Structure 1
Amino acid sequence: MAKAAAPDVAPTPRHQHLIVTVYGLYARHQDGTFAIADLVQLLGDLGVEAAGVRSSVSRLKKRGVLVSVKRGSSAAYKLSPELEDVFSAGDERIFAPRRADKDDAWLLASFSVPETQRHLRHKLRSILTRIGCGQVSPGLWIAPGNLAPDVEHQLQRAGLMEYVELFRATHLTGGHLDEKVGQWWDLPSLEALYTDFIARHQPVLSRWEDHEEEAGPAERLKQAFVDYVPMVTQWRRLPYMDPGLPEEYLPENWHGLAAQELFTRLHEHLGPKAHEYALSIVGSPAKSAEPAVTTV
């Protein structure tokens, strides 16, 4: 049986991905808008040159992720209003993911696309893979039942629900379901992504726990931002590729569990400090709210 593919080990975050993370975390609490000068400063702290910021913003504008606006006499960009529901839906998936229980129902997605519209098959498969579904056969995909609202929302947003039937199901066949899970999802590739995340960011947590008081307050806030944004950028796609399978069906010593714990600790430790620093550049702490970001 075919497996839903996962990408290779994550590269260093691209400039566009960092910008989307910064907007998702902080801009929605500033009416979704950043002055370009503020964005250049924040991305400069992350090692991105001003020319790279402007070039990446231009690409995001062409993709419809950002739109240009006037902020006083300055140029500024804001998130496209059409993406607000995407970011909102991503908040829970990224910051409060749910792992299914062994006795939960499964979601089955069966689709059939006319030969004259075969290009839609690739689009359907890409969406199902990106949201964490596994492939049972070319036209039948599976996911834990709690992903049903996300799957339906993504398919409706793409205008593809007319080709898909969704079912809640219970596994009745005998045998070891964990073996089937290993056929339906490419768990080794996902494991490699989690292993890479731990390798990159466990030293960050250790450094903060061991040496947090060595820098002054302002330096700590800035360093928290510098450490936090790339961490969230690497992490934010993983909860979508990982369907949140029951622990009983996962390989022994599955690194996804340790990676989730590491992300949670870093988010709790660095998130408030990074948020305070970002708002010191772009706005008032009085406008602060819970961070939010998604997978655009």
Structure 2
Amino acid sequence: MTEHIEIPTRMLVHALIREDATVDAQELYAVANTLGMSDQQVRLCIKRLVADGRFTHQGRGRKAQLHATADTMRTLAPNADFVRHAFRQDAGLAPWDGVWHLAAFAVPESARTVRDSLRETLVHLGGAALQGGLYVCANAWEPYVEEAAHRLGAHGALTLLTTTDLRRGDAREPAALASLLWPLTEVADRYHRLSRLTRPRLARLTDATALSPSALLTLAVELAAELTRAMEPDPLLPPELLPRPWPGTEARELIALSWAALHERDGGEARPALFRLYADITREAAERAAQTGRNAPRRG
């Protein structure tokens, strides 16, 4: 029996945003019901999202249409950038240049909300705290950090710098530093879970059994949810800084094969914007894997 995947209702709504920034309520309720969510659960989630300014709402019930706000749509692009970068790393196309990227800020207590938001953003972008107000990342994150600082009104309090000489105590070897600064065991466990949950869904997508459009969309939502869960805490460290073998590589390969199979099943018809972004990225990765003889998923 395929292991159940728990999907927050808010994540489902975000996953079903189409390229015109709309969510069709009929489709939303249908997929939600397939995933075991009640209509009341969906209605309450929509109400909260509208109240939070994430969506506007037209119509009633299953005939309604949600419109994602500009801020909501803006969050899709960076996520796609990170997924694309991860697959480039897996393919050996993004070698590390040995540069550490640092960001420091000094925001007063009177602007605690801004300070907390900037701190959360730096961690989300793959940063690790070195000490109060000083964060480090192994990737060139400056455009994302500056965009966030401008948006929060804290750009004047931000300092950016790079170095090739980073030490913590006696640790200075890059891989040793990475193991000290980031929770790599937790991240690896999430990728092991992603692989475990993806394999049976890939089997469903690649066998000869017919699948309805609703079933295909449900599988896509489940895969997107688990990929998001795995990648959210992942700092996307270069392979040179990670334990080998790194479970994220295999998990993303399985996801790439699943999305390639999904693309074949639905004929490339219109799908939510997030899926189209992920599908394009992972299909390219699957094609690279096939060309290099890595198209058969590894067991472990």
- Place the TM-score, normalised by the shorter chain, in its bin: 0.7 to 0.9
Pairwise CA RMSD: 3.0
Residue 188 (structure 1) aligned with residue 182 (structure 2): no
Contact 1:35–1:75 (Cα < 8 Å) also in 2: yes
- Matched with 2:30 is 41
2-side partners of 1:146 and 1:269: how far apart?
33
1-side partners of 2:275 and 2:189: how far apart?
30
Q: Give 1:246's match in structure 2, choosing from 238, 261, 269.
A: 238
- Matched with 1:146 is 140
- Matched with 1:63 is 52
**Which range moves more in the overlay, 181-190 or 44-53?**
44-53
User: One-letter code of the match for 1:32?
Assistant: A
Provide closer, same or farther for how the CA distance between residues 157 and 269 of structure 1 changes in structure 2, counting only shifts above 3 A: farther
Greater relative contact order structure (CA < 8 Å, 6+ sep): 1
Contact 2:118–2:148 (Cα < 8 Å) also in 1: no
Q: Give 1:213's match in structure 2, choosing from 179, 191, 208.
A: 208
2-side partners of 1:222 and 1:278: how far apart?
13
Q: What secondary structure, in the 3-state scheme, does the structure 2 residue paired with 1:145 have?
A: coil
Contact 2:100–2:163 (Cα < 8 Å) also in 1: yes
**TM-score scaled by length of structure 1:** 0.77
1:1-296 alignment, distance < 5 Å:
12-23=6-17, 27-28=18-19, 31-69=20-58, 74-95=63-84, 97=86, 98-99=88-89, 100-171=94-165, 175-209=172-206, 212-215=207-210, 219-271=211-263, 273=265, 291-292=276-277
| Structure 1 residues not aligned, in runs of 5+ | 1-10, 283-287
Provide closer, same or farther for how the CA distance between residues 274 and 157 of structure 1 changes in structure 2, counting only shifts above 3 A: farther
Provide closer, same or farther for how the CA distance between residues 267 and 147 of structure 1 changes in structure 2, counting only shifts above 3 A: farther
1:175 Cα deviation from its structure 2 partner: 4.0
1:117 Cα deviation from its structure 2 partner: 3.1
Provide closer, same or farther for how the CA distance between residues 197 and 96 of structure 1 changes in structure 2, counting only shifts above 3 A: same
1:17 Cα deviation from its structure 2 partner: 0.8
Q: What secondary structure, in the 3-state scheme, does the structure 1 residue paired with 2:53 have?
A: coil
1:254 Cα deviation from its structure 2 partner: 1.9
- Matched with 1:5 is none
1-side partners of 2:49 and 2:109: how far apart?
33
User: One-letter code of the match for 1:109?
Assistant: A
1:78 Cα deviation from its structure 2 partner: 0.9
Q: What secondary structure, in the 3-state scheme, does the structure 1 residue paired with 2:58 have?
A: strand
Q: What secondary structure, in the 3-state scheme, does the structure 1 residue paired with 2:257 have?
A: helix
1:229 Cα deviation from its structure 2 partner: 0.8
Provide closer, same or farther for how the CA distance between residues 228 and 96 of structure 1 changes in structure 2, counting only shifts above 3 A: farther
2-side partners of 1:196 and 1:20: how far apart?
22
Contact 1:104–1:145 (Cα < 8 Å) also in 2: no
User: One-letter code of the match for 2:150?
Assistant: Q
